[in-house]
């Protein structure tokens, strides 16, 4: 389980007003994490009436199946597995096995009464040969299934890097190279996954296609979203969702970010020779969204409303270059941005969710949320901010970029400290070194891996003047 280092973020030297704001923000964060806990999402969305499983209005009689297989990949699926296995055992379903892939360092205590599903801790965000081997094990389960089997798939963000089986002619080394280039390019996760789908034997619906061609087994995919709009074909690169993109879409992404000349020539030729294939899947393939950042937003808004803040969920489409968004966010907070009013006469909480991007040019330590906040802070030093405020931006999985922080927070005290210490914020931004800056300011937020994975969230608190 995560452990939030609140003692660093709530020093006794902080004035009473800012201390209250930090307390509210950190309480909201912990409530948000609880709302998107994968075990909770499984328990809230799966109902067992005897041996009949109900999910999103559909019903499956588990007595009709001889075997149950569990496969999947993602940052949040270990908690999903914990809850699922317990529920299956509680209703007397013992004949199940499977394989799941999670990131190395996943620190959730399993507490399983039966270790029937193999849990592999894999390299992330860049796959290696062990990822390919474990994915092949899942494919073998599908190929050896029968029409009397049930396959339960668990997917969440991070699944694209944890479910990897390259197309013929593509080595794991070249796949790692193109993934590194894409991740550093500033491309969105939607764009990155368009390319990934055409380099894979399992992404873009191909995992479900393997099952459809092998047997008439029933497949149920339980999915937690970490993408804008909860587009199922983007989450984990949509292994059980028919691909709607063309090879030209993938090539356009490479051209847009000037990567066509940088990737291995063999991969470029594979993409150029690829054809769009309309995918026909069995009627026994079922996909269900069981959680997203909105579960956290609802809980956080409820808490802040109770504490006297008018809550506005101003955007679920936060996207774009992080450092540009930092300046936009300050303009929104100051009422200078288009379509937003001048400062308010009541306590206000602004909530946004989405996923920003970073074009990596330096060799520092940071992440998209911290880079956005550092840009916000640089711009804030040029402004006159008359009211108390707090801004927090976090990655719910616990790790923002290549740092060990989930994000950071900024308030009036941080602005004062940045001026006092004469921090060269431009230099930190130039080197993509936002985490070092916030470590020096003492407001980087540390939890470790949380076992959760949904969109990022930002929170702005402005108390009544």
Question: Taking the model in full, what pTM does it have?
Answer: 0.94
Please determine, for residue 464, whether its predicted confidence score (pLDDT) is greater than 80: yes
Q: Mean of the pLDDT values across residues 378-386?
A: 92
- Residues 191 and 183: their CA atoms lie apart, in Å, by 10
- Residues whose CB is less than 8 angstroms from the CB of residue 50 and which lie 6 or more positions away in sequence, other chains included: 91
Please determine, for residue 70, whether its predicted confidence score (pLDDT) is greater than 60: yes
Structure-block tokens of residue 79:
């908690």
Please determine, for residue 455, whether its predicted confidence score (pLDDT) is greater than 70: yes
Structure-block tokens of residue 65:
């199946």
Q: Mean of the pLDDT values across residues 66-94?
A: 93
User: What is the pLDDT, as a whole number, of residue 106?
Assistant: 77
**Coil, helix or strand at residue 26:** helix
Predicted confidence band of residue 95 (pLDDT cuts 50, 70, 90): confident
H or E stretch covering 154: strand 149-155
Structure-block tokens of residue 218:
């029933």
Q: Mean of the pLDDT values across residues 85-108?
A: 87
Please give the full DSSP string across 352-366, using - where no structure is assigned: EEE--B----S----
Please determine, for residue 340, whether its predicted confidence score (pLDDT) is greater than 70: no
User: What is the pLDDT, as a whole number, of residue 338?
Assistant: 61
User: What is the pLDDT, as a whole number, of residue 4?
Assistant: 85
User: What is the pLDDT, as a whole number, of residue 1?
Assistant: 47
Please determine, for residue 130, whether its predicted confidence score (pLDDT) is greater than 80: yes
Please give the full DSSP string across 27-76, using - where no structure is assigned: HHHHHHHHHT-HHHHHHHHEEEETTEEEETTEEEEGGG-SEEEEEEESSS
Please determine, for residue 45, whether its predicted confidence score (pLDDT) is greater than 50: yes
Q: Are strands 117-122 and 348-354 parallel, antiparallel or unpaired?
A: unpaired
Predicted confidence band of residue 94 (pLDDT cuts 50, 70, 90): confident
Percent with pLDDT over 90 in the chain: 85
The per-residue pLDDT of the chain, averaged, comes to 93
- Residues 181 and 25: their CA atoms lie apart, in Å, by 35
In angstroms, how far apart are the furthest CA atoms of the chain?
69
Q: How many angstroms separate the first and last alpha carbons of the chain?
A: 38
Residues paired with 391 in a beta bridge = 410, 460
Q: Are strands 149-155 and 218-224 parallel, antiparallel or unpaired?
A: parallel
What would the pLDDT profile of 406-453 be if each residue is shown by its tens digit?
999 999 999 999 999 999 999 999 999 999 999 999 999 999 999 999
Predicted confidence band of residue 354 (pLDDT cuts 50, 70, 90): very high
Domains by residue range for the chain, with CATH? 6-36+293-462 (3.40.1480.10), 38-291 (3.40.50.10180)
Please determine, for residue 112, whether its predicted confidence score (pLDDT) is greater than 70: no
**345 or 194: which leads in pLDDT:** 194
Q: Mean of the pLDDT values across residues 310-334?
A: 95
């Amino acid at each position: 389980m995560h452990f939030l280092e609140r003692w660093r973020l709530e020093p006794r030297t902080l004035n009473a007003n800012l201390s209250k704001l930090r307390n509210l923000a950190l309480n909201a964060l912990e409530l948000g994490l609880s709302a998107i806990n994968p075990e909770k999402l499984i328990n809230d969305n799966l109902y067992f009436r005897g041996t009949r499983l109900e999910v999103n209005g559909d019903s499956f009689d588990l007595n009709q199946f001889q075997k149950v297989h569990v496969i999947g990949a993602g940052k949040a699926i270990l908690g999903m597995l914990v809850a699922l296995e317990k529920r299956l055992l509680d209703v007397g379903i013992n004949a199940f096995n499977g394989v799941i892939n999670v990131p190395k360092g996943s620190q959730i205590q399993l507490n399983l009464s039966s270790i029937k599903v193999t849990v592999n801790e894999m390299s992330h965000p860049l796959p290696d040969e062990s990822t390919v081997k474990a994915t092949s094990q899942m494919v073998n389960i599908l190929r050896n299934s029968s029409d009397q089997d049930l396959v339960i798939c668990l997917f969440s963000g991070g699944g694209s890097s944890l479910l990897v089986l390259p197309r013929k002619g593509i080595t794991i080394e070249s796949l790692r190279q193109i993934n590194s280039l894409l991740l550093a390019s500033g491309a969105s996760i939607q764009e990155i996954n368009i390319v990934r789908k055409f380099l894979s034997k399992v992404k873009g619906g191909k995992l479900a296609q393997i099952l459809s061609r092998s047997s008439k087994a029933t497949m149920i995919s339980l999915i937690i979203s970490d993408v804008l709009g909860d587009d199922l074909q983007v989450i984990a690169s949509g292994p059980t969702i028919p691909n709607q993109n063309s090879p030209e879409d993938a090539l356009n992404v490479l051209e847009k970010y000037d990567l066509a000349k940088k990737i291995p020539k063999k991969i470029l030729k594979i993409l150029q020779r690829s054809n769009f294939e309309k995918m026909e899947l069995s009627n026994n393939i079922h996909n269900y969204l069981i959680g997203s950042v909105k579960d956290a937003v609802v809980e956080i808004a409820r808490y802040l409303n109770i504490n006297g803040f008018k809550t506005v969920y101003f955007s679920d489409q936060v996207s774009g270059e992080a450092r540009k968004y930092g300046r936009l966010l300050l303009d929104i907070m100051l009422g200078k941005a288009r379509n937003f009013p001048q400062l308010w006469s009541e306590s206000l909480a602004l909530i946004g969710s989405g996923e920003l991007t970073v074009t990596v040019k330096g060799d520092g330590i940071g992440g998209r949320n911290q880079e956005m906040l550092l840009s916000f802070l640089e711009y804030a030093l040029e402004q006159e901010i008359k009211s108390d405020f707090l801004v927090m931006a976090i990655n719910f999985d616990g790790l923002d970029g290549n740092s060990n922080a989930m994000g950071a927070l900024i308030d009036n005290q941080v602005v004062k400290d940045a001026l006092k210490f004469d921090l060269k914020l431009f230099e930190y931004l130039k080197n993509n070194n936002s985490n070092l800056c916030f470590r020096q300011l003492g407001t980087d937020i540390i939890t470790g891996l949380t076992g959760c994975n949904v969109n990022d969230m930002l929170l702005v608190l402005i108390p009544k003047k």
